[in-house]
Each structure stands twice: as C-alpha cells, then as structure tokens.
Amino acid sequence: DAGVIQSPRHEVTEMGQEVTLRCKPISGHDYLFWYRQTMMRGLELLIYFNNNVPIDDSGMPEDRFSAKMPNASFSTLKIQPSEPRDSAVYFCASSPTGSYGYTFGSGTRLTVV
Amino acid sequence: GQQVMQIPQYQHVQEGEDFTTYCNSSTTLSNIQWYKQRPGGHPVFLIQLVKSGEVKKQKRLTFQFGEAKKDSSLHITATQTTDVGTYFCAARPLDSNYQLIWGAGTKLIIKP
C-alpha cells in the first residue's frame, strides 16, 4: 500500500487566495483525520470523518476552513480566504478503526504571504 | 480541557547514552499511543498501550503504561543517530470519542 497520500507537498499562496489540500487515505481505513502542526501550538486536530461522515469539526478554527469527504478514497481541506496565520504543516491521517494507531501522510507545508 | 503533560521538551544526549520521555494525564486513560517524527517528516505510529502496568519492548525501545493508567514513558537504550527526532505521546481519555490528546513532544538531540 502506498500509505496516506497528500498533495501538494508545498503550497505558497498570497493572502486572500483559496487553498485546497487533498488527501487519499489508506484503502479500508474508516477514519480520516485532518491535523495542523505549528511550533507554537503543536499538533491540533481540525476535523475527523468516520465512513465519510464528519464527526467532530470543533477544531476547525474559523468559517474560512471547510473539509469534505465525498467518498472513501478522497478528502479535501479548503481555506478561503487564506491568511498568514494559517501558515503551518497540514497532515492527513487515517486509521482502520478509531481506536488504533494513525497512519499519517507526508503533509502539506502551507505558507501564506 | 484535558491535557497531557510531556517532559522534557528537549533532551541532549551523547550517542550511546539512554533517553527517556514521560507523559502524564490528570485523568484516567483508555490507552496511550507513541509516535516518532523525524525532522521534516510526519508522525509515525510506534505502539499502543492498553493495559494497566503494561510494558512493551521494540528492540532498544521500552514503553510503559502506569498502574493507574495516567502516565506512560518511553525509554531508549544506547541511542543511535537514527533515533533523532521528536517523540510524542497521544492519549485517549476514557470518555473520548476516538479523539487523541497529544503531548507537546520530546525532541531527542544527539550531541556531536
């Protein structure tokens, strides 16, 4: 298995632009998680899905953030409009059940200038 | 909210010395997981501990879960350069709906 696949690896955008991050979880994993990592705040859970359904989005910082999972093999995290404080590494992770270890993707390093 | 304290923040060791990181929760946990993140990389799942007092070993790594299921430790014997990175604990409280509470991580640095 190729693992969790995220794209793009790096994204540099101007403030105010829309950013879309993509994730393909491991086949058969029912849980998908979006995390954000910064030096100041560490790893923060933004949202997670179970069987493509959003279960908890309480970590989504603002209405500018939205996430979708239209099918079991694809999820997106969208930021519109982006702001410099959104600069971070965004990780997608999946798990076969909610109670076991997560497999993380390589992450998307987002820089908003 | 619930928090997990992880110490130390950094540990500088000479190659060959031992390394230990500790995690402590104020509430009883269902289980605790450990991850390693290499510089510039992503967290990689190492192990999950579930039972009170559990001890698990992976080569030079020893993981322990406290009797009260509120604390855990990771000990590395005779560190090697390949051990460099940040080690995170991720705790699942008893009342969690599959959410993990992450420690701040301990960065292992090998002195030149």
pLDDT of residue A1: 67
pLDDT of residue B94: 86
Exposure string over A20-45, b if 16+ CB within 10 A, otherwise e: ebbbbbbeebebbbbbbbeeeebbeb
Integer angstrom CA distances of residue A5 from A22, B28, B52, B87: 8, 34, 35, 23
Q: What digits encode the pLDDT tens for the residues B31-62?
A: 999 999 999 999 999 999 999 999 999 999 99
The average pLDDT across B5-15 equals 97
Q: Indicate the helix (H) or strand (E) that contains B95.
A: none
pLDDT of residue B98: 66
The average pLDDT across A28-57 equals 95
Q: What digits encode the pLDDT tens for the residues B61-98?
A: 999 999 999 999 999 999 999 999 999 999 998 877 66
- Torsion sign, CA atoms A97, A102, A106, A107: positive
For tokens 């270890």, name the residue: A101
CB proximity under 8 Å: B 32-51 to A: 33, 35, 41-45, 47-48
The tokens describing B13, both together, are 């060791």
Query: How far apart are the C-alpha atoms of B4 and B96, rounded to whole Å?
Result: 14
Q: What digits encode the pLDDT tens for the residues A55-94?
A: 999 999 889 999 999 999 999 999 999 999 999 999 999 9
Name the 3-class secondary structure at B49: strand
* Closest Cα in chain A, distance from residue B105 (Å): 8
pLDDT of residue B95: 78
Q: Which of B47, B86, B92, B98 to mutate to test the interface with A (most CBs of A within 10 A)?
A: B98
Has residue B107 got a pLDDT over 70?
Answer: yes
Residue of B42, B100, B102 with shortest CB distance to A42: B102
* Closest Cα in chain B, distance from residue A27 (Å): 18
Q: What digits encode the pLDDT tens for the residues A14-35?
A: 999 999 999 999 999 999 999 9
